[in-house]
Structure 1
Amino acid sequence: MILNIRIDHNTADISTIEKSTCQMEDLFEEIRNKYVIQEHLQLKTCNRSELYLILDNCNIDNFNFLDFVVETDDDALKHLLRLSCGLESMIIGEDQILGQIKDVRKKSLSDGHAGAFINTIFTKAIHVGQAVRKKTNINRGSISIGSAAVELAESVHGDLKCKKVLIIGAGKMGTLVAKALVEKHLKAIVVANRTYDRATCLAKELGGSAIHFDRLDEAMSDADVIISATGAPHPILTYEKIKAAVPEDKLDKLVMVDIANPRDIEEEVKELGVKLFNIDDLRGIAEKNKKMRESEAKEAEIIIEKELLLLKKSLKHIEVESLISNIRKTAEKIRTQETEKAFRMLGDINGKEKVIDDLTQVVVDKIFCDIIKNIKTAAEKDDKKLIETAETLFAREESK
């Protein structure tokens, strides 16, 4: 059974998504206490948190999923394929989600949490995401969360060319913001990051300057726009910090865009007159982008439906992989033993051993080719009786 538990921008605001982090961890532990979780993977971005579980079975009616969306098997698989193509993103067609899926797959495998099922599922998702972007224009000229954040700042200030922009955070989201600013040909850009070297590298790409995190107050006092995207577990820009750092006559002119999850900037900062935006405020830009890509999305859905069928077949094959492996091992053991007997009986065959070895290999492969094919077909059709029969027929005692 494949179980997907998620909360994202489609069903919740940023505040609810933030609160769900601990709830999802508790839910995971609750499920693990009642059922055997064979594989698992967690995906977290600025506007979503998702959990993928592989279990033998699970009665989802036994749990209170609160604000979460819960889908199983085919629905869960289809959601992941849509997600990899950018169809579930706030900014339809954005490319960042594909990289994030690649990263969590790699990490889950490295941590030992993922096995054959999750590897197959996520490898297929990556393939489909790449294919859709190649065969459609879903991401042609697409905007990112970073460029949407810049667009929000422009909605207040207009042209940003003469404005001073401070980017807090030099990770992936900060880099997206940086790329969007480069396209605007801005000059006065400052990057702050806890790791100064990373801030320096990003600032160099921008033609801007980097500062140490302990000089953040100084940089904020002079900024017209502050875009924050760190991975901090709690707000780094509080009401008191902004009040102390930014001159009073500049507060109502300051634009702050928070694209972090959890948020970097306290909501109370608005009380100072600051124009504060967060992930929720990107929805208007996202809706405009969505309408532009409706026809491309339809083409993507056709590709997804075809690939979903192939994925389901692959997963069914995994279910009988151990049976097929045992058949092959048994056949190879018999082939090797009998071939060696033949060599001893034939004596000196003038270096023709490989010819005989290849011949026996081909014979065995051809004998079992249709058998293995039929077992895979039975798995695809959920023909448990035929699979059980095959297990009985080809079961061999180790001593034999």
Structure 2
Amino acid sequence: MILNIRVDHKTASIGTMERSAHKLDVAFQEIQNKYPVEEHLQIKTCNRTEFYLVLKDCSMEVECDDFVVETDEKALEHLLRLASGLESMIVGEDQILGQIKDARKRSIKEGCCGRVLNTVFTKAVHVGQSVRKKTRINEGSVSIGSAAVDLAEKVHGNLKCKKVLVVGAGKMGTLVAKALVEKNLKAIVVANRTHDRAVCLARELGGSAIHFNKLAEAMKDADVVISATGAPHPILTYEKVKETVPPENLRNMVMVDIANPRDIEERVSELGVKLFNIDDLRGVADESLKMREAEAVRAEKIVEEELELLHRSLKRMEVEPLISSIRANAEEIRVKETRKALKILGDMNGNEKVVDDLTKVLVKHISYDMIQNLKHAAEMDEKEVIKAAETIFKGKN
């Protein structure tokens, strides 16, 4: 059984997602302790946390309150839709595909991604790429980062000649910074705990980089602060902002927090700052969806077709051990009988390979229909046929 447990922007606010993150980790550990989990993989982004698990016992029922729980075909459909950008807050955004690739690589490195999840996630990446190639779902696509910039523009009218402070030089911070380049800003300042990363990004954007301990100083006269770090707790607290930013600047300041968990305390808004978080991006997301509705329909058709192909692949995978056993048994017999024949035939003047190749071809042709029928039986879920084959070949290898 393939199991997907998740909390995301579709079912939860940023506050709920923050509170649910630890609960989801606990639920994952409980499942591991209670059931035979063979493979697992986690996807975590600013607006979702998901676990994919492969469990041995297909009859079990896993319940997790407060989360979306889906199994097998529903779980696979969700993943293919996710890779296609159909489940993203900003429909068609490209970042999720890279995040899925990274999650797969990380799980393989940790030894948690086996044959099933590797097959599933390889297919997901293929589908995501195919959708973007065959449709225009990501044409002119905005990212979470550029949506954050749009929010700031709605307040200021435009960002021309404004000073913007970007906190965080990771993938999301980079998206924000690149979206800002076109805005003819007065200045872009990048702050990051790893100063070298901030320097690299700032150089690319024609901005400046600061050490994290200079954050308060840079914030004093910033018109816009966009924060996207991976910190486990708020880095811009009510007290820090109040102490740092002059009251006259607070009233004109826009802060956009696209981190999960959040970087900026909610109470900061009490200071007069116009504070936005991931929940506020939903308006931009709705506009994006209207622009891409026709392309989304085409993408869903591709997902539907690819889901059927994936289903067949996974069903065939179930009989691979049996097919390997049949092939190994046939090869053992072929080698044994070929040696006997060659011994009887004696010196063949170097033509032994002709006999060896002949026996290989015979075995391949004899077993071909049998193996294809087994694969078809697996695809059609004909369990009796598979069980009969297992009985016939049991113990033969």
Q: Which amino acid aligns with 2:223?
A: D
Q: Distance in 2 between matches of 1:105 and 1:7?
A: 19
Q: Which residue of 2 aligns with 1:95?
A: 94
Which shifted more, 181-190 or 238-247?
181-190
Aligned to 1:147: 146
Contact map agreement 2:39 2:53 (CA 8 A) in 1: yes
Q: Which amino acid aligns with 2:144?
A: I
8 Å Cα contact 2:14-2:279 kept in structure 1 = yes
Kindly state the Cα deviation for residue 328 of structure 1 after the two structures are TM-superposed. 1.1
| Deviation digits for residues 322-375 of structure 1 (CA, Å, limit 9, x no counterpart) | 111111111111112222222222222222222222211111111111111111
Deviation at 1:185, TM superposition (A): 3.8
8 Å contact from structure 2 (residues 161, 184) kept in 1: no
**Aligned equivalents of 1:317, 1:187: Cα separation in 2:** 60
1:187–1:208: 8 Å Cα contact kept in structure 2? no
Structure 2 CA distance, aligned partners of 1:59 and 1:158?
57
Structure-1 separation of matches of 2:204 and 2:342: 68
- Give deviations 1:99-152, integer Å, cap 9, x for gaps: 000110111111111111111111111100100100000001110000000000
Query: What is the TM-score with the length of structure 1 in the denominator?
Result: 0.97
**Quick check: 1:106 aligned with 2:105?**
yes
**Residue 390 of structure 1 pairs with residue 389 of structure 2:** yes
In the alignment, is the contact (CA less than 8 A) between 1:35 and 1:58 conserved in 2? no
Q: How does 1:7-26 map to 2 (within 5 A)?
A: 7-26=7-26
Query: Whole-Å Cα distance in 2 between the matches of residues 382 and 7 of structure 1?
Result: 32
1:244 deviation in Å? 1.3
Partner of 1:368: 367
Distance 1:360 1:270 in 2: 80
In 1: Cα distance, 2:344 partner to 2:307 partner: 53
CA spacing shift, 1:105–1:257, aligned 2, 3 Å: same
- Provide the residue aligned with 1:54 in structure 2: 54
Give the distance between the partners of 2:299 and 2:113, measured in 1 at CA: 27
The 1:258–1:353 alpha-carbon spacing in structure 2 relative to 1, beyond 3 Å, is same
1:257/1:276 contact within 8 Å kept: yes
Report what 1:38 is aligned to: 38
In the alignment, does 2:128 pair up with 1:121?
Answer: no
1:284 aligns with 2:277: no
- Structure 1, gaps ≥5 residues long: none
What is the rounded CA distance, in whole Å, between the counterparts of 2:39 and 2:71 in structure 1? 15
Q: Distance in 2 between matches of 1:60 and 1:266?
A: 42
Which residue of structure 1 aligns with residue 339 of structure 2? Answer: 340
Q: 1:233 to 1:59 in 2, by over 3 A?
A: farther
Output the CA distance in 2 between the equivalents of 1:165 and 1:69. Answer: 38
TM-aligned CA distance change 1:115 to 1:138, over 3 Å: same
Q: Matches of 1:60 and 1:291 in 2, distance apart?
A: 40
CA contact (8 A) 1:187 1:207 kept: no
Mapped to 1, the partners of 2:50 and 2:296 lie a distance apart of 22
Paired with 2:194 and 2:342, the residues of 1 have a C-alpha distance of 68
What SS does the corresponding residue of 1:67 show, helix, strand or coil? coil
SS at match of 2:6: strand
Give 1:267's aligned amino acid: E
CA distance in structure 2 between the aligned counterparts of 1:59 and 1:241, rounded to whole angstroms = 53
Matches within 5 A, 1:216-365: 216-365=215-364
CA distance in 2, matches of 1:359, 1:210: 70
Match of 1:208 in 2: 207
Structure-2 change in CA distance of 1:355 and 1:250 (3 Å): same
Identity %: 68
User: Is the contact between residue 159 and residue 184 of structure 2 (CA under 8 Å) also seen in structure 1?
Assistant: no
Secondary structure of 1:253's counterpart equals: coil
Partner amino acid, structure 2, of 1:55 = L
Deviation (angstroms), 1:59? 6.7
Which whole-Å CA distance do the structure 2 matches of 1:62 and 1:12 have between them? Answer: 21
Counterpart residue type for residue 329 of structure 1? A
Alpha-carbon distance between aligned partners in 1 of 2:119 and 2:186, rounded to the nearest angstrom: 46
Match of 1:191 in 2: 190
CA 1:36 to 1:235, structure 2 compared with 1: closer, same or farther past 3 Å? same
> How many residue pairs were aligned?
397
Q: How far, CA to CA, are the matches of 1:217 and 1:386 in structure 2?
A: 70
Query: Displacement, 1:385?
Result: 1.2
- 1:58 is displaced (CA, Å) by 6.2
Amino acid at match of 1:356: V
User: What residue identity is the alignment partner of 1:341?
Assistant: K
Residues 235/60 of structure 1: CA separation in 2 closer, same or farther (3 Å cut):
farther
